[in-house]
Copies of this chain bind each other. A is one copy, B any other.
Amino acid sequence: MNIIEVWYEFGSNYSYLSVNRIGDLARSRGVAIKWEPFLLGPVFKSLGWETSPFILQEQKGRYVWKDMQRQCAKFGLAWNRPSTFPRRALLPMRVAVLGKDQRWIETFSKRMMELNFVEDVDIDSVEVVSQVLKNLGVEAATTIEQAQSDANKQKLKDQTERALTLGVFGGPTFFVNGEMFWGNDRLDDAMEYAARGRVSQLVNS
């Protein structure tokens, strides 16, 4: 089966679009998804930025919120600009990296995104994450304990290091057979490439 990797983080607004869209797209094309949560903060630091470029570049930041509003309307997704951006999401990201190959990873990820970008909830909270896990039928206390273990903390760091090694500079980023596609604007191209093995209108290099 063809595979698309999605590299994403819960604080990233454009990841919100792709995390919501990718499941149905992949199922309709017979493509398997590999969920790859990673931290954007260290990636931005590697570029010399203390925070999101949407904060550092005032004009771009202003535009991004209009663009998000339009993009969400276009894709039929709910949207409310978060009161905190970028929102800390360390605990849910650790849970995501722990469960990245579990059956609940897609629903968990979509729900975390919804809490951040629709319900404007602080998601870096044991209470919030526990409730989401419980609603998915996942044993919350054990999962959160495992997520906060040293081994799993290191797993998220390794994952982020791997993103940097792969050349990731923002989120979401997709990989298909080693080919990188950056941004929700390239999700359809990446999916086409995954579904057809090779895609006539895409030049493989």
- Residue numbers of A with Cβ under 8 A of B are 47, 57, 59-60, 62-63, 66-67, 69-70, 72-74, 167-170, 179-180, 182-183, 185-186, 189, 201-203, 205
Q: Which of B66, B167, B189, B202 contacts A205 (CB 8 A)?
A: B66
- Does B203 lie within 8 Å of A169, measured CB to CB? no
Contacts of A72 in B (CB 8 A): 203
| Number of copies of chain A assembled together | 2
Chain B residues near A60 (CB, 8 Å)?
169-170
Instruction: Please indicate the chain B residues that have their CB under 8 angstroms from the CB of A57 in the complex.
Output: 47, 169
Do residues B74 and A205 form an inter-chain contact, with CB atoms below 8 A? no
Find A167's partner among B62, B73, B167, B169 (CB 8 Å cutoff): B62
Q: B47 to A182, Cβ gap below 8 A?
A: no
Asked if B202 contacts A73 (CB within 8 A), the reply is: yes
Residues of chain B lying within 8 A (CB to CB) of residue A70: 189, 202-203
Could you tell me if A59 and B167 are in contact, using CB atoms closer than 8 angstroms? yes
Top 7 nearest A-B pairs (CB, nearest first) are: A73-B203, A185-B185, A59-B169, A74-B201, A60-B169, A59-B167, A70-B202
